[in-house]
Amino acid sequence: MSLAQGSVKRPITTAMFFLIVILLGGIAFSRLPVDLMPELTYPTLTVRTNYPNVGPQEVEDLITRPIEEAVAAIAGVEEITSSSSEGESSVRISFTWGTDLDAAADEVRSRIDRVRGQLPEEAETPSVFKFDLASFPIIFLGVSSSKLGPIELREFTEERIERRLERVPGVASIDIRGGLRRE
């Protein structure tokens, strides 16, 4: 006897089976945790180093590259990406899923300590951070002008836009990048 024939011959049993499945599904669905911002742990570490008043090329040569070379041989490293901007180096290290991030962070700190002597004395001590989704900006805002130069546009952004955005409830921080500063 096939499943279809058995279902037709025993309709009450079939109906009870489906009612139980629907009931258990409803109970399971009601107990599923729902979170607007779920706790996610990505296997990623970021090394940030500040080197005030130094251009991006120098930051890359003196800070970013030595750190990249130091952490490249760590077990489980899948990808290394970096960014060097005025006064700041950021090296992101992605590990394979399942890597113990606490042990990886200890290893990264150990490797950075070994090359700390090669970094400029004026540079701040590199900091290692775990990936935290909540620390990323919610909005990136681009500003451009055909009438203002890079210096004037940055000043306008700092004086007008930044001050207004800081007054908005819930704004934690504003970081202005780009443009030029008047010396």
**117 and 77 fall within a common domain:** yes
pTM: 0.61
Residues 20 and 51 in one domain: no
**Chain CA centroid to CA 42, Å:** 9
Report if residue 37 sits inside a domain.
Answer: no
* Residues 56 and 110 occupy one common structural domain: yes
Q: What is the number of domains present in the chain?
A: 3
Are 129 and 146 within one domain? no
58 and 12 in one domain?
no
In tens digits, the chain (183 residues) has pLDDT values of 788 888 888 889 999 999 999 999 999 999 988 877 677 778 999 999 998 888 889 999 999 999 999 998 898 899 999 999 888 999 999 999 988 888 999 999 999 999 888 889 888 999 998 877 666 677 788 888 888 888 888 888 888 888 888 888 888 778 887 777 766
Residue at 38 is within a domain: no
Same domain, 80 and 145: no
Contact by Cβ (8 Å): 101, 78: no
- Quickly tell me which residue has 């962070």 as its tokens: 105
Could you list the residue range(s) of the whole structural domain that residue 181 is in?
137-183
Residues 48 and 121 occupy one common structural domain: yes
